[in-house]
Copies of this chain bind each other. A is one copy, B any other.
Amino acid sequence: MPSARGRNLTFTEEARRAQLVDVTIELVAERGYAAASLGRIAESAGITKAGVLYHFPSKQALVEAAHEHVVSALVATVGAAVEAAGPAEGPAAYIRSMVGHLRERPRHVRMLIEAITSGASLTDSKERWSAVAELVSAARAARGVTGEVDVRSAALLIGGGIDAIVAESLRDSEYDAVAAAELLVEVVERGLLS
């Protein structure tokens, strides 16, 4: 894959880039976006500000790379889980895999939050809920459920529930996110899929 630098990357370059993306995610996660300055990123990586800017043309490019990395990991996991499940179980698979994936990657969660609140162009809200809305529609069709439901709102409620569960398990590691996800699945089944 050609890189953002317009040529192929050497192995060491690739490794450095990956390391920089990694420390960026960590810094954003632990101390917030504002604290993730070039200086601190460089320090965490063991090089200097200028060194960082050799690998990425600007701080924004680095942050975007970090954001992309996090999103790619998420969609890969969740996409596979949803496809593995049948249409009738799509929403449940989505909920379980989202909660499972994010619960195991607290640093990714912070990164996603910052990206969303910073009005990131990458995070089209519609992109998220419309995919979930289709899962809901497909599940209702597969189950032969009659009646009308606003699938957009249904999707938003599912997404909001997931966010809340993940956020809580981030704050309190004792919180049983898996059980909460099962409750959400049940509520969705009873309230939206029947």
Contact with B along A163-194 (1 / 0, CB 8 A): 11101100110010001100110111011100
Given contacts A32-B117, A118-B32, A156-B164, whether A191 and B180 have CB atoms under 8 Å apart is no
CB-CB under 8 A from A32, the residues of chain B are: 117-119
Query: Please, how many angstroms separate the alpha-carbon atoms of A115 and B151 in the complex?
Result: 31
Shortest beta-carbon distance from A103 to chain B in Å? 14
- Return chain B residues, CB-CB under 8 Å to A34: 33-34
State the Cβ distance, A145 to closest chain B Cβ, in Å: 14
Q: A32-B118, A191-B190 are in contact. Are A160 and B153 (CB under 8 A)?
A: no
- A164: chain B residues within 8 A (beta carbon): 156-157, 159-160, 163
A168 and B183 in contact (CB under 8 A), knowing A113-B117, A163-B163, A190-B190? no
Evaluate whether A150 and B179 lie within 8 angstroms (CB atoms) in the complex, with A118-B32, A187-B157 already known. Answer: yes
Q: Judging by beta carbons under 8 Å apart, are B157 and A183 in contact? A: yes
Q: Which residues of B contact A153 (CB under 8 A)?
A: 165, 179-180, 183-184
Tell me if A94 counts as interface (CB < 8 A to partner B).
no
- Chain B neighbourhood of A163, CB < 8 A: 160, 163-164
In contact, B168 and A161 (Cβ under 8 angstroms): no
The residue on B at minimum CB distance from A184 is: B157
For A118, what are the chain B residues with a Cβ–Cβ distance below 8 Å? 32
A82 part of interface (Cβ distance < 8 Å): no
Complexed CA–CA distance, A58 and B41 (Å):
27
Which residue numbers of A lie inside 8 Å of B, CB to CB? Answer: 32-34, 113-114, 117-119, 125, 129, 149-150, 152-154, 156-157, 159-165, 167-168, 171-172, 175, 179-180, 183-184, 186-188, 190-192
**Closest 4 pairs (CB-CB, A-B):** A160-B164, A187-B191, A160-B160, A153-B180
- 23 A-B pairs (CB sep. < 8 Å): A32-B119, A34-B34, A113-B117, A114-B117, A125-B168, A125-B171, A150-B179, A152-B175, A153-B180, A153-B183, A153-B184, A154-B183, A157-B161, A157-B180, A157-B183, A157-B187, A160-B160, A160-B161, A160-B163, A163-B164, A186-B191, A187-B188, A188-B191
